[in-house]
Structure 1
């Protein structure tokens, strides 16, 4: 038996690469995404009354991992990247059916010139991710306060983030186009997006990530992320 899933839309987010995407939704609240519905699903009646719900479930496809296949055992970052766990006991993107589930905050619906868009906040999705379905988040049923979280029982510890004098000037330069840029960078880096498994040779490494059309470079100095340079991507 085979099933064919058709995306209802594509989400556009600040995250241009897998590296530095938050490992869970809701950790970077300043990240705003826009779901652009495909023409055959651009009927605003599909979203009637959705504003009654503060949060939504997004069912999506890990579209960039499909060709890489999957494994029954994976290495979760929360376990340091060196312990194997069953794929169905994790949220790894390398899955048999490469489908994901994320809860996001509803922002607004926009319908202009026959095009339908849904704005959301706090997603952990790569730019261009296909959205397969959208469902309302129902607090009394979806928030189970007695549930156990296994190895992910609590949020990760946050790192402090500061900006060099040059980076501050660059943020000011881009502030018209990206008014929440400093908050976004801070919230992303506070999650410590570095690989879970690191060697001593990487202690002085300069890291880079892409947000929007910007390349952000930073280092970790004495346990603090220091943003050093922000440039438009080539």
Structure 2
């Protein structure tokens, strides 16, 4: 029996998503169903034979690498501070889905929207742009959906916060959404409704937050603790 202690993984695809930074990415897949992206299959898996039959599948499992949260194996994370628990309470790494994994691997189930030559169009993404994909598997409802499953740590989806748009931001979202061919206002709403700021922060109405989606900087503030208002969408400079 082999007792190899190291294994080599290589990407079979690269994810192209709206998320240029980790801030405001949905904390679980499918929480922002309007978010779409593409998986660019890499050689030799860009061959049509690799995805033959996949058009019969509605959802797929993605195994990926947290390439911007690499683990220092000399200082492993045995405990983490999940955002779901406010960012202050510690939990064992294996009891959470924190990005600090022993081998930097993540797992998400996403909707398969279209199978194209060398590319898969998917929805409900929670992946950073450029994420390396190391495996793709079909979701099997009768085996993967366990009706008796429970998780007392996260028994229900996180509560959503109200998201409004200023007249300027609404107009900009419509214009840029048409340019990008994306439901931009829906994407912004679904991502921000999960309240991406750290739970321990109590921002004043004067404080502005921002995140890059595609080539836009989305700027918002908190008029009250229970409400977000998107102020404007600013094109990101390439300089």
SS across alignment from 1:174: helix
1:165-199 alpha-carbon deviations (Å, 9 max, x no partner): 1112212321322341011001111111111221x
- Residue 92 of structure 1 corresponds to which residue in structure 2? 98
Aligned match of 1:233 in 228, 232, 236? 236
Contact 2:71 2:103 in 1 (8 A): no
Aligned with 1:40 (options 38, 41, 44): 44
SS at match of 1:21: coil
Structure 1 unaligned blocks of 5 or more: none
1:191-202 to 2 correspondences below 5 Å: 191-198=194-201, 200=202, 202=203
Aligned to 1:118: 120
CA distance 1:68–1:225, change in 2 (3 Å): farther
Counterpart in the other structure of 1:74:
80
Moved more, 173-182 or 101-110: 173-182
Matched residues in 1 for 2:124 and 2:111: separation?
6
Q: Distance in 2 between matches of 1:173 and 1:120?
A: 23
- Asked if 1:190 is matched to 2:196, the reply is no
CA RMSD of aligned residues (A): 1.3
Q: TM-score, normalised by structure 2?
A: 0.92
Structure number with the higher helix fraction is 1
Judged with a 3 Å threshold, the aligned counterparts in structure 2 of structure 1 residues 171 and 81 are, in CA distance, closer, same or farther, namely same
Instruction: Report the Cα distance in structure 1 between the residues aligned to 2:174 and 2:155, rounded to whole angstroms.
Output: 38
Distance 1:68-1:161 versus aligned 2 partners, 3 A rule: farther
User: Residue 67 of structure 1: CA displacement?
Assistant: 5.7
Mapped pair 1:203 → 2:204: yes
Measured in 2, the distance between the counterparts of 1:24 and 1:59 equals: 14
1:154 corresponds, among 153, 156, 173, to 156
CA contact (8 A) 2:60 2:111 kept: yes
Q: Which of 9, 12, 16 is the aligned partner of 2:16?
A: 12
* Structure 2 Cα separation of the partners of residues 168 and 143 of structure 1: 38
* CA distance in 2: counterparts of 1:7 and 1:150, whole angstroms: 34
Q: Provide the rounded CA distance (Å) in 2 between the counterparts of 1:229 and 1:132.
A: 37
3-state SS, counterpart of residue 179 of structure 2: coil
Q: State the TM-score, normalized to the length of structure 1.
A: 0.94
**Shift of the alpha carbon at 1:68?**
5.8
Per mean C-alpha deviation after superposition, the further-off stretch among 20-29 and 169-178 is 169-178
